[in-house]
Amino acid sequence: MSKLENLDQTFSLKKIDKETINLKVFNNELLMSIIGEFNKNLNELEKLTKTKIFFRGNSITIKGKTEEINKATDAIKFLINKYLKTNLIEDEDLKLSVSMRDFKHKAKVHSLEQLIKTPRKTVIARSKKQSDYIKALTNNDITMALGPAGTGKSFLAVSVAMTMLFEKKVEKVILSRPAVEAGEKLGFLPGDMKEKVDPYLRPLYDALYDLFGYEKINKKIESGEIEIAPLAFMRGRTLKNSFAILDEAQNATLTQIKMFLTRIGENSKIVVNGDPSQIDLINKSQSGLIKTKKILNKIKEIKLIEFDHKDVVRHPLVTKIIQAFNKIDDKS
């Protein structure tokens, strides 16, 4: 028996048999965005879901095994929701639309509750913990995020911070991190303060330029609305109407992290990010990140998000590499 399901008058879904589903899309612009130029998007979805996808008129027909056609159907639903929210379907949304089925909070992700719009792209939570993290960054005054590289800790923090700056919810974004990787003191490095610290903050710069463009970001830096500051220079300040991010906090001592957290002032947010497995301090026991987590974990106003290898959104090999090294660390 055929099953017909109407969703927001945007499209209808009809199951023809166990290996065939038909979707009718009632908005031509939406339909063309889903299909893509020269069927590019449908061709990509075929590869990702191992299905056969055809379209004629305003109908899209999906053929394949039950699990595969359900995956393709969910992917198209995701793309429809994305288009309705942003009026845009981007290339990276195709892989994202398929991977979303693996998340336990599928319903929340498909409604795109945790979505950040920036001038150059739309940022979407790619895992349950990323969704929780975006929510914490928005709602909590202090957020701590621990986990491996590639989980979006820095990228999402910058996305939320800069969105709040452009929406005039804060007056300044402050980017800070300990400068220890080079094994050199800042005073002995060439250049002014910005030139000394910039290499250490390159991941944050990459996120800024990717999301908002080179020109806009440089104007904000020149106006002082974006401030680049080494962690040591935060002492004695009170941050008002600001969004401050401490990145690579695993390389900060307990005293330094305490100093940074206690800078918070009126209408401000503070984020502390770090990866406990990548401590660059000569004496690794000096790292204050895990100690800070244990000290503050009972303060309900401070939100702690702990990512793991399942939340890595870089190349799939990154997850396997992290797992392999974690096994060695567990044995040692």
Contact 26, 80 (CB under 8 A): no
**Which CATH number do you get for residue 22?**
3.30.1370.10
What range defines the domain where residue 16 resides? 4-113
Which of the listed residues 73, 92, 113 is the one where a domain comes to its end?
A: 113
Domain stop point among 57, 81, 113:
113
Residues 75 and 107 in one domain: yes
Task: Evaluate whether residue 118 is within a structural domain.
Answer: no
In terms of domains, do 100 and 180 share one? no
In order of 67, 250, 280, the CA distances from 258 in angstroms are 50, 13, 19
Q: What's the pLDDT tens digit per position in 10-53? A: 888 888 888 999 999 988 888 999 999 889 999 999 998 999 99
Do 157 and 275 sit in the same domain of this protein? yes
Q: 3-class SS at 150?
A: coil
Is the same domain home to 136 and 253?
yes
Taking only the tens place, the pLDDT of each residue in 190-239 is 556 666 667 777 778 888 888 888 899 999 999 999 998 888 888 888 99
Output the domain CATH number for residue 270. Answer: 3.40.50.300
The answer to whether residue 258 is domain-embedded is yes
Assess whether 160 and 245 both reside in one domain: yes
pTM of the predicted model, to two decimals?
Answer: 0.72
> Domain count of the chain?
2
For residues 48 and 147, membership in a common domain is answered with no
- What burial letters (b/e) apply to 209-248, b meaning 16+ CB within 10 Å? ebbbeeebbeebbeeebbbbbbbeebeeeebeebbbbbbb
Q: Are residues 229 and 132 both part of a single domain?
A: yes
Residue 74 belongs to some domain of the structure: yes
pLDDT at residue number 191: 58
Examine the fold and report which residue of 113, 135, 166 is the final residue of a domain before the chain moves on: 113
Query: In the chain, which stretches have pLDDT less than 70?
Result: 1-8, 100-114, 180-197, 314-319, 322-323, 326, 328-332
Same domain assignment for residues 91 and 219: no
Nearest-angstrom CA–CA distance, 250 and 292: 10
Residue 79, domain member (yes or no): yes
Helices (H) and strands (E) in the chain, counts: 13, 13
Same domain, 242 and 187: yes
